[in-house]
C-alpha cells in the first residue's frame, strides 16, 4: 500500500488511508453485516433492519426492508477521519483520484 494521502498540509488529521482513497473513488464494497427482525406495533407485518459494512473502510450503511423492498434509508456511519470538514475542494478531489491511480498502477 502507498503512503496515506494528506489532503491539507497543515492538518495532520486530514490524511486519507488507502482504503478511504479507494472507497472515495470507486465507492464502498458492501458486505451484509446484520439483519434484525422488527415487528411493527399494531401490525403483523415484519420489518427487517439491515446493516451493511464496507470491507475496506468499515463504513456502515443501514436501511429498513418490508416485504423484500427497501422502505427507509437510515444513512451511513463513517469511520473516523473519512469525512472531511466542509467537503472536498475540486483540488482535493483531484488529489484523491490521482492517489487512487498511483495506488493501483504498480
Q: Which residues bind Zn ion (CB under 5 A)?
A: 23, 28, 54, 56-57, 59
Give the length of the chain: 106
Q: Quick one: 21 or 92, whose CB is closer to Zn ion? A: 21
Q: Quick one: 16 or 23, whose CB is closer to Zn ion? A: 23
| DSSP label of 79 | P
Tell me how far, at minimum, the Cβ of 27 lies from Zn ion, in Å: 8
| DSSP label of 104 | H
Q: Are strands 46-54 and 60-66 parallel, antiparallel or unpaired?
A: antiparallel
Residue 24 CB neighbour total at 10 angstroms: 21
Tell me how far, at minimum, the Cβ of 98 lies from Zn ion, in Å: 19
Q: Quick one: 59 or 99, whose CB is closer to Zn ion? A: 59
Amino acid at each position: 500500500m502507498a503512503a496515506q494521502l494528506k489532503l491539507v498540509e497543515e492538518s495532520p488529521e486530514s490524511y486519507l488511508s488507502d482504503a478511504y482513497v479507494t472507497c472515495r473513488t470507486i465507492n464502498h464494497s458492501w458486505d451484509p453485516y446484520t439483519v434484525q427482525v422488527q415487528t411493527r406495533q399494531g401490525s403483523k407485518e415484519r420489518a427487517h433492519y439491515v446493516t451493511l459494512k464496507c470491507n475496506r473502510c468499515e463504513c456502515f450503511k443501514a436501511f429498513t426492508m418490508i416485504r423484500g423492498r427497501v422502505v427507509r434509508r437510515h444513512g451511513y456511519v463513517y469511520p473516523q477521519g473519512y469525512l472531511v470538514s466542509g467537503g472536498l475542494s475540486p483540488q482535493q478531489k483531484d488529489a484523491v483520484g490521482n492517489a487512487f491511480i498511483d495506488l493501483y498502477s504498480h
